[in-house]
Amino acid sequence: MKTAIKYIISKEKGENLESIIVKSSQDAATFCRQFYHDDIGIYESFFIALLNRANKITGYVKISQGGIVGTVVDPILVAKYAIDSLCKSIILCHNHPSGTLAPSQPDKDITNKIKAGLKLFDVNVLDHIILTEDDFYSFLDNDLI
């Protein structure tokens, strides 16, 4: 069975992702920022980073791309890639083209929904990073995870 979206692992792209260890929200934001280029201020996209037990990045997936005011995130797709990759934890990441760092209520709701669903499989949601062109917001640093 083929999947519509393939998760990227280090061997597939010739990257040494497992040398990247996430120890802080700044580490997570720095890693996630590579997913965005000139489009960070144009449309909203949602990614997940996959991590092993040692908090080393093993892969990442683009879950969705939307418009200028939002994107649809399907928790089933998030769970699928977390389970398929056998990761121990994930970091959620999306951008706010508006430049506003504060999470919306839908941002909080989807984070809690994904966190509750993955808990059934002992997969932790370590953080949810919101990026703007110049800064980032961490759910963990702001006690929302």
At 35-74, the pLDDT tens digits run 898 889 899 999 999 999 999 999 899 999 999 889 999 9
In a domain, 1, yes or no: no
Q: Which residues contact 1 (CB under 8 A, 6 or more apart)?
A: none
Q: What is the pTM of this model?
A: 0.86
Domain that holds residue 108: 8-138
Average pLDDT of the residues in 103-111: 96
Indicate whether 8 pLDDT > 70: no
Indicate whether 106 pLDDT > 60: yes
When divided into structural domains, the chain yields a total of 1
In a domain, 2, yes or no: no
CATH of the domain at 122: 3.40.140.10
In a domain, 145, yes or no: no
What per-residue confidence (pLDDT) applies to 10?
45
Average pLDDT of the residues in 77-105: 95
In a domain, 103, yes or no: yes
In a domain, 37, yes or no: yes
In a domain, 143, yes or no: no
* Beta-ladder partners of 8: 60
CB distance 131 to 49 below 8 Å: no
In a domain, 3, yes or no: no
